[in-house]
């Protein structure tokens, strides 16, 4: 049996989600961008199981390890596992980066026929639970999305206390867990992040989708990094790139955007008409899964803090389990509409609130919404009052630490 890494820092939010499914006959599927800690989630679950059942039969496959390179198809996966299954003890089966195995869903369906098998898999593609897998395993999977470290986790991992300096480190370097092994300096961190960026782009996008126009792909990612949180359509991106002498149709832009979303490099946020209660067909916002990777692409500049702030708020809402859209109220924009458990809240994000026009705009847009759902403004400005006309004003650090 493989050896578990030592000194694993628990990510309790995710562990609490999976605990009630341990031992149940459903495949636990952990999805998320590369290097956000999916493998270490498997290690934490293995440790939980072994603490309770030291004789548990653990079967572990990591498709990033050359030792498992021969497992390429569903048949090969099934054959490997069948030779290691115990008929006396429950089998706990862990498969890391399963999307590297052709037709893996057929093997998972077969293994789930035996209730003595408890299955955990990870994948770095957002479409892991769509298509044939969804058909073959309908009702027999539970997906748990893993994100980069939330700000409180970042503090725990790096043994930091909550402060403005710690927050700016989080804005600058992002929350990839491996950073705890590095000095938090630009030359070291951004060299690591650029390597991760290249792995995602060239393995999870270029190789997976046979992308030939890599020059355009990288220009597109740079455009998204420079315009994080801006509202635009694929046609607008296409028109901009044409002005830069890059001629590509807007439907091709949309295809490439979908590849980046599927690889979890970026998140696409739909625009919602608050009055008409409908999703607009065009016009979306894009945020990076990890601010550090965004900064590795575009460079970190203090002048980008407004974009990074909005990105951090969006990522925190995802981490907390919200479904997020951007709102539209006639001609006014609401940064986020966050929904969970049939409850909604409206959120505006502002770097500073030191000017009357800024206060009027951020709070005024929220005051125009007629329903009674909670509303708030989130800011980095720590000198402002707590409310404005009944709408709470929350500093980003308080928002992230709740």
Q: How far apart are CA 84 and CA 91, in angstroms?
A: 9
The per-residue pLDDT for 133 is 63
Name every residue whose Cβ is closer than 8 Å to that of residue 141 and which is 6 or more positions away in sequence.
Answer: 26, 27, 28, 29, 129, 133
Give the position of tokens 């998140």.
267
Q: Per-residue pLDDT tens for 109-126?
A: 999 999 999 999 999 988
pLDDT of residue 383: 83
Checking if the pLDDT of 170 tops 60, the result is yes
Identify which has the larger pLDDT, 272 or 134: 272
* Model confidence at 341: pLDDT above 70: yes
Indicate the range of 134-148, 150-164, 183-197 predicted with least confidence.
Answer: 134-148
Question: What confidence tens digit (pLDDT) does each residue in 316-329 have?
Answer: 999 999 999 999 99
pLDDT of 352-384, one tens digit each? 987 677 788 889 899 999 999 999 999 999 887
Is 198 a residue whose pLDDT tops 90? Answer: yes
Backbone angles phi, psi at 152, to 5 degrees: -60, -35
Class of domain 12-145: alpha beta
> What is the share, in percent, of the chain residues with pLDDT greater than 70?
98
Sheet with 91-96: strands ordered across: 57-62, 91-96, 117-123, 27-31, 141-145
**pLDDT tens digits, 18-52:** 999 999 999 999 999 999 999 999 999 999 999 99
Residue 134 reports pLDDT greater than 70: no
How do the domains of the chain map onto residue ranges?
12-145, 151-401
Q: What is the mean pLDDT of the chain?
A: 93
**Rounded Cα gap, residues 38 and 31, in angstroms:** 7
């Amino acid at each position: 049996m493989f050896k578990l890494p030592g000194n694993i820092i628990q990510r309790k939010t995710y562990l609490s989600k999976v605990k009630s499914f341990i031992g149940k006959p459903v495949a636990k599927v952990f999805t998320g961008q590369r290097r956000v800690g999916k493998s270490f989630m498997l290690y934490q679950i293995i440790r939980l199981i072994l603490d309770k059942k030291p004789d548990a039969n653990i079967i572990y496959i990591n498709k990033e390890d050359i030792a498992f390179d021969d497992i390429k198809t569903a048949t090969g996966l099934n054959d490997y596992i069948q030779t290691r299954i115990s008929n006396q003890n429950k089998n706990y089966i862990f498969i890391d980066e399963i999307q590297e195995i052709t037709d893996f869903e057929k093997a998972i369906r077969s293994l789930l026929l035996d209730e003595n098998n408890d299955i955990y898999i990870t994948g770095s593609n957002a479409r892991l639970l769509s298509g044939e897998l969804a058909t073959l395993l309908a009702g027999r999977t539970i997906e748990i999305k893993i994100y980069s470290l939330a700000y409180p986790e970042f503090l725990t991992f790096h043994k930091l206390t909550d402060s403005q300096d710690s927050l700016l480190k989080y804005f600058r370097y992002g929350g990839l867990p491996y950073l705890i092994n590095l000095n938090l300096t630009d030359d070291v961190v951004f060299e690591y992040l650029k390597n991760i960026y290249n792995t995602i782009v060239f393995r999870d996008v270029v190789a997976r989708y046979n992308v030939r126009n890599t020059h355009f792909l990288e220009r597109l990612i740079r455009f998204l990094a420079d315009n994080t949180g801006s509202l635009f359509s694929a046609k607008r991106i296409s028109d901009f790139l044409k002005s830069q002498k890059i001629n590509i149709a807007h439907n091709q832009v949309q295809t490439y955007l979908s590849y980046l979303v599927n690889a979890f490099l970026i998140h696409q946020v739909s625009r919602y008409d608050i009055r008409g209660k409908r999703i607009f067909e065009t016009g979306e916002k894009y945020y990076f899964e990890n601010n550090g990777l965004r900064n590795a692409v575009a460079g970190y500049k203090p002048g980008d803090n407004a974009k990074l702030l909005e990105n951090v708020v969006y990522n925190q809402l995802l981490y907390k389990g919200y479904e997020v859209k951007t709102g539209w109220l006639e001609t006014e924009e609401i940064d986020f509409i966050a929904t969970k458990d049939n409850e909604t809240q409206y959120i505006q994000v502002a770097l500073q609130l030191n000017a009357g026009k800024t206060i009027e705009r951020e709070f005024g847009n929220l005051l125009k919404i007629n329903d009674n759902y909670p509303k708030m403004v989130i800011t980095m400005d720590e000198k402002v009052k707590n409310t404005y006309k009944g709408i709470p004003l929350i500093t980003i650090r308080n928002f992230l630490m709740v």
